Amino acid sequence: MDCAVALTPQAADMPASPPPLLEVRDFSLRRGQAVVLDGVNLVLHPGETLGLIGESGAGKSTLALALIGLLRAPEVQLQGSLRFRGTELTQLREADYRRLRGNKIGLIFQDATAALNPCFTVGEQIAEPLKRHLGLSKWDRRDRAAALMQSVGIPEPRLRLDAYPHELSGGMQQRVMIAVALACNPELLLADEPTSALDVTIQAQIMELILDRVRELNSSAIFVLHDLALGAQVCDRIAVMYAGQIVEEGPSERVLAAPLHPYTRGLKSCVVELGSRMLEPIPGQVPPLNAMPAGCRFAPRCPKAKAICSEQRPLAEIHDGRQVSCWFID
Amino acid sequence: MSEAMNVAPLARGSQWKQRFLQPLLRQRSAMAGLAILAIYVVAAVCAPWLATHDPTAQDLMASLQGPSAAHWLGTDSYGQDLYSRLLYGAQLALIIGFASVALGLVVGVAIGLAAGLMGGRTEWVLMRIVDGLLAFPELILAMAFMAVLGLGTENVVYALALSFVGPFARMTRGDVLQVKNQPYIEAARLMGVGTAAVIWRHVLPNVVSPILVQAGMRISIAILLESGLSFLGIGVVPPTPDWGLMIAEGRAFITMAPWISGVPGVALAILLVALNLLGDGLRDAFDPTTQKDA
Amino acid sequence: MFQAVSAKLAQTLLVLLIVSAASFAFLKLAPGDPVSIMLGSDYSQASYDKLTHELGLDQPIVLQYGRWLADFVRGDWGTSYITNQDIFELAVLQALPVTLTLAALSLLIALVVGIPTGVLAALYRNSWIDVLATTLAIGGNAFPSFYLGIILIWLFGVDLGWFPVLGFVAPWEDFWQGLWHLALPSITLGAWYVGLIARITRSSLLEVLGQPYILAAKARGEPGWRVVWVHGMRNVLMPLVTVIGLQLGGMLRGAVMTEVVFALPGLGMMVTTAVLNREYIVVQAGIMLTGLLFVAVNLAVDQTYQFLDPRLRRR
């Protein structure tokens, strides 16, 4: 894509700004014949938060796992580039990648109950990256782990260090998960649907907690979410994914206020808001990975699709400070 | 087990094929096991025609001979023809294996049904007897029964059958208790169907498949135990053509004539492998989540 | 919690009572009249009645059982007619340690070989290692241990002369000699377990490695070996212990055969000889002892669960 450089408005408009923390260029991920991620472009600056929004199966979680290097060859085939702090991640040796994981890049899983090892105490699991990456001594690790638990709002952390995951509530487990991910003050935090496995009543608390911690540590964060409104509320910028592609990306307020891509519009109208008269579901389903349309992947479900849509892929265009991939941006 | 429980009470032919036969056919190793078992069964059934000698005819002039034209697999220290003994040994192993499991199954299922359906004091007493049987390892139990019953082929069958009663009884009772609480049993009772009819029409068909799987897997244990008892000298008595006896006999001549124990030993090992493959296949075909137990 | 423990205790006691009753019943069912056996061929009716009374055999069966049980608990298990040896000494002090040592060594060999084989088979699924491990598992599990023992004696004992063929040296008297003598028997008995352990390790590890917490451990920067051997295997221990416990019957089966093949003076040898000699009182001791062993191992497995799986621990 020739226009790739121009796709990053900040870089073009503000040459004085610091180099991006993360730069994803033309990134594709194939699993055998299936193209799971297709030509993804993203830029994340230090301190920025980005929401990856889309239906399940859009490739959001896959992108997160690829970023932290848990989906690599030979399991999957990668193309394009992932640059983190100037380092090309796709070419990184496994041993070097391991030094980033849990250290410079943290990952919060969707379901803490499943992501915490049932046979180890939460203290042991929080202390693990402290030992691995910071080389802290046993007692320093305990102190740090307790402090971390305190910082994610777990009461009486000293007592809970030796608790096993099943002895904590779901909300507490997710707090532990957050403490693990933030243990080494990562520069990039990936949060994969961090609240969707929790009760509605504590979802907001946990979201707030993650945002607070990220701001305090001055880290950048990528939130994988399926809720456009929530994403727009918590993130500086939003990238809407559909079937492995980013269809629209830009500042949250603008994307939410005036979505340009028909899919983003569809997503927005799915959001139930007080006072809204009706809910418009998007007709149809995401096509299976082995039967993706040749042109725009959204074309079969798009209300505005014309002949060209099913024949040729729309290239990303800069429009109103956003990148949008659609033939008919109005 | 649960898989079989949840489906409709009456298993129909097509359903049986779909649920059981097709998955079994898909497993290559189980099919290989079945093929080997078939060869053994043919050899056992046709032993009188395939054998070249009387399996118990002794010829001390021709003892400890290696394989030859006269004795295809050689002879033992009494000059008995190993090939013929091998064939009749297969017959004996399969008969004892199947008969003891069948007998243990019938008695065990009867006890399990009685305990599960009657409940109360009958159940308590029956299950304590079953506990007693299950409190000992099978071989020790079989050895104890052999000590009480005395040596001989028939007694081996009884001893093995008795040592298998426990597992079958416990399993049947468990399944019956599970089925008993199903709504359709209640419905059948409310409709005035008699107890015997309820057992026959509704309870048995639902407990039968896990029990048959268990039986299939036990046959290899039965054959192993049978040959083991005979090897120890507390099973079948000489000169009956029995693999365990043959291995015990060949033990003394292992350096001079390794084929004496080798012929029955290898035959036994192959049969057990085949039965295990088939048993695993049977289990997977019925329910992939059930774990093999002792 | 107290209720749970006492229920467990009551249940165990009941099983112990059943075990003892079964062992007692065995002696009552055994053919032959103990009194006439003890008196020999020539005796008068008066001396017969006298001995019957002395042995308490004219009393009701329940009383006889009670007396027998009391004697048993006191360690008064009677004397062998043939060797004149005290049976408690023979069974508990001489035979039991041999069987336990053999079982422990076999289990050790099986774990040391079986676990790495299972892990490799799981990590390189469908590779030649996996095929080899599966083949070994099925073959080792089915191969009759008494024939395997004979082959090992022939190959490594007689032909190569690496190991002693028969006999037993107690490792607690001469450690290295003892191990050397137990090498072939332990391999024979262990071979049966190796396959089972490899198989269960493989399937459990495959399941565990698919769990999110394994991915989470990787996301923390844990190296691959630690992910498998610490985070993965910690969770495999539970099914492993279950299977080891469940297969105790098979273990004892193999131990009896192995002891007879290698002429080890263990419980299996003791019971076999006693059955052949029709010394039912010794057989009874063997039955009772294996029954107790069974109960003890099941209890131990239960306790191990709580140790291995924090979710089962009571707080």
Is some CB atom of chain B closer than 8 A to the CB atom of C51? no
Q: Determine the pLDDT at residue C125.
A: 84
Question: Three-state SS for A22?
Answer: strand
Least confident of A106-115, B128-137, B199-208: B199-208
Task: Note if the pTM is more than 0.80.
Answer: yes
Cβ contacts from A onto C, under 8 A:
74
- What ipTM describes this predicted complex? 0.86
Alpha helices, H only, chain A: 9-13, 60-67, 94-100, 112-115, 122-134, 138-151, 157-160, 170-182, 200-217, 228-234, 252-257, 262-270, 307-311
Question: pLDDT tier at A222 (50, 70, 90 boundaries)?
Answer: very high
Is some CB atom of chain B closer than 8 A to the CB atom of C160? no
The pLDDT profile of chain C, 315 residues, written as one tens digit per residue, is 566 677 778 888 888 888 888 888 888 888 877 777 777 777 788 888 888 887 777 788 888 888 888 888 888 888 887 888 888 988 888 899 999 999 999 999 999 999 999 999 999 888 888 888 888 888 887 788 888 989 888 888 888 878 887 777 888 888 888 888 888 999 999 988 888 898 899 989 999 999 999 999 999 989 989 999 999 999 999 889 888 888 877 888 889 999 999 989 999 999 999 998 888 889 889 988 988 888 888 888 888 887 888 887 754
A107 contacts C311? CB cut-off 8 A: no
Nearest beta carbon to residue B273 from set C19, C30, C139: C139
CA distance C273 to C91: 12
Does position B140 have pLDDT exceeding 60, yes or no?
Answer: yes
Residues in chain C within 8 Å Cβ distance of A132? 220-222
Once rounded to an integer, what is the mean pLDDT over residues B240-252?
90
C291 contacts B135? CB cut-off 8 A: yes
Whether A and B touch, i.e. at least 3 CB pairs below 8 A, reads as no
Structure-block tokens of residue C81:
């007619």
- Nearest residue on chain A to C211, judged by CA atoms? A114
Q: What are phi and psi of A325, to 5 degrees?
A: -110, 95
Is some CB atom of chain C closer than 8 A to the CB atom of A328? no
Q: What is the 3-state secondary structure (H, E, C) of chain B?
A: CHHHHHCCCCCCHHHHHHHHHHHHHHCHHHHHHHHHHHHHHHHHHCHHHHCCCCCCCCCHHHCCCCCCCCCCCCECCCCCEHHHHHHHHHHHHHHHHHHHHHHHHHHHHHHHHHHHHHCHHHHHHHHHHHHHHHCCCHHHHHHHHHHHHCCCHHHHHHHHHHHHHHHHHHHHHHHHHHHHCCHHHHHHHHCCCCHHHHHHHHHHHHHHHHHHHHHHHHHHHHHHHHHHHHHHCCCCCCCCCCHHHHHHHHHCCCCCCCHHHHHHHHHHHHHHHHHHHHHHHHHHHHCCCCCCCC
Q: What are phi and psi of C128, to 5 degrees?
A: -65, -30
Side by side, the strands of the sheet bearing A188-192 are A105-108, A188-192, A220-225, A49-53, A237-242, A245-251, A322-325, A316-319
Once rounded to an integer, what is the mean pLDDT over residues A108-121?
91
How many angstroms away from the CA of A257 is the closest CA of chain C? 36
Question: pLDDT tier at B35 (50, 70, 90 boundaries)?
Answer: very high
Is some CB atom of chain C closer than 8 A to the CB atom of A89? no
Q: Determine the pLDDT at residue B11.
A: 44
Residues in chain B within 8 Å Cβ distance of C246? 293-294
pLDDT more than 70, % of chain A: 91
How many angstroms away from the CA of C234 is the closest CA of chain A? 7
For the stretch A264-310, pLDDT in tens is 888 877 655 555 555 566 777 778 877 788 788 888 888 877 888 88
Q: Which of A189-193, B22-26, B47-51, C135-139 has the highest mean pLDDT?
A: A189-193
A114 contacts C235? CB cut-off 8 A: no
CA distance C155 to C218: 47
